Structure 1
């Protein structure tokens, strides 16, 4: 759940309608609708959810879902966006979650009954809070859809523990900007710039948390204590390079595979050797059969 400082900041926001010089594509758009919803969700946020519109475009909303108890997402900080169409509430928003979760593909549009994949099934009575509650409910289920992924409980817990680091560093890309990266280009690794601009108080809390917990900002791993080895598995992520959103997921896969033994990793070689030996014995037996028959006849 967002801090009091973050909630206070949300209440004093004054969102503008559209970008500077931008004309709305649909005269049906009712800014008062999203303005009322913004006021409502700021004063009475649903459990585990906080959200606000961008200061420059009321159609672009940013949310944070805090992982609920008794789920593998517990204490995770999941940031995402809702991009509303000009004719909202008569059409649903595009829904994305940027933070790697082990549940959704980062920064990918999600196919849900409350998203822009299904405009005909969207109910105009649904509000921003309704949409985000529905997203949280789907997240904690195991149902699959376009944009979702499968992962183990351990993998999801691992990503939850790194979520605050990922949001504020862009997955470690703050150390070296990648080609094509920039504020808002989250997939390329913007160094956490977009998150910081939308959630400055929470970003400060994240950096303080990393410092207090001795988190390596390059990798998201807990640094070695007193010169000893780190208690967090090293996942082979170069400390000097920036990382895209999918790097964290790839690292989890490395961690999962690292525990598999030599027999598993070389099972194909062992199976092939067994087949070769079996074939060799069979051929040798058949080659000896005529000779044995000749010896029997001679005797």
Structure 2
């Protein structure tokens, strides 16, 4: 169960992300538990993940924002093991480096940046750019077969990315 501080902070962050989502990122809290958030990272056009739709979860502790979340990516990506916690500086693997000023948007922007790097850590895998492109091309279809994805994002049947410079938005049908 979320503390009052976590509930208030995560509610505020959800409103902020709805108003101004970071580029290539979409995230929503679980309707039954605000401590669990589902996210989609979209592969930037100039990366091996271009056109990909990578679903994952943020698992916030009840002490958030004073303790960091656990982070998993569920969609096969060629970068992270599906459904295994990812170790990076903004995750619960590194509570000593956690900064309570970091938000959901900050965490997911950091995760996307880390995804685009080749740094190896707990939860990561090695693959070629060609393999990453292959995972990206299959990611949307794979997500649509997953009950967790369909429950978190029921409105997503297909989406197209419109990228105009640094502006990116989702179009749902």
Same fold by TM-score, threshold 0.5 exceeded? yes
Q: Whose relative contact order is higher, 1 or 2, with alpha carbons under 8 Å and at least 6 apart?
A: 2
2-side partners of 1:30 and 1:55: how far apart? 15
Picking from 92, 114, 122, the partner of 1:138 is 114
2-side partners of 1:95 and 1:43: how far apart? 23
In structure 2, runs of 5+ residues without a counterpart are: 160-173
Picking from 63, 79, 83, the partner of 2:55 is 79
Give the CA RMSD over aligned residues: 1.2
Instruction: Answer yes or no: is the 8 Å Cα contact 1:75–1:161 preserved in 2.
Output: yes
1-side partners of 2:142 and 2:113: how far apart? 23
Which secondary structure does the structure 2 equivalent of 1:201 belong to? Answer: coil
Which secondary structure does the structure 1 equivalent of 2:110 belong to? Answer: helix
Aligned to 1:120: 96
Aligned to 1:198: 152
TM-score in terms of structure 2 length = 0.89
Q: How many residues align?
A: 159
Deviation readout 1:170-210 (Å, 9 max, x if unpaired): xxxxxxxxxxxxxxxxxxxxxx21111111111x227xxxx
Note the 1:269-280 alignment, pairs <5 A: none
Note the 1:34-53 alignment, pairs <5 A: 34-53=10-29
TM-score in terms of structure 1 length = 0.52
1-side partners of 2:6 and 2:139: how far apart? 35
Instruction: Answer yes or no: is the 8 Å Cα contact 1:28–1:87 preserved in 2.
Output: no
- After the TM superposition, list the runs of 4 or more consecutive aligned residues in structure 1 that deviate by more than 4 angstroms: none
Relative to total residues, which structure has the larger helix share, 1 or 2?
1
1-side partners of 2:12 and 2:62: how far apart? 16
Aligned to 2:86: 110
2-side partners of 1:168 and 1:92: how far apart? 29
Which structure: larger Rg?
1
Which secondary structure does the structure 2 equivalent of 1:144 belong to? Answer: coil
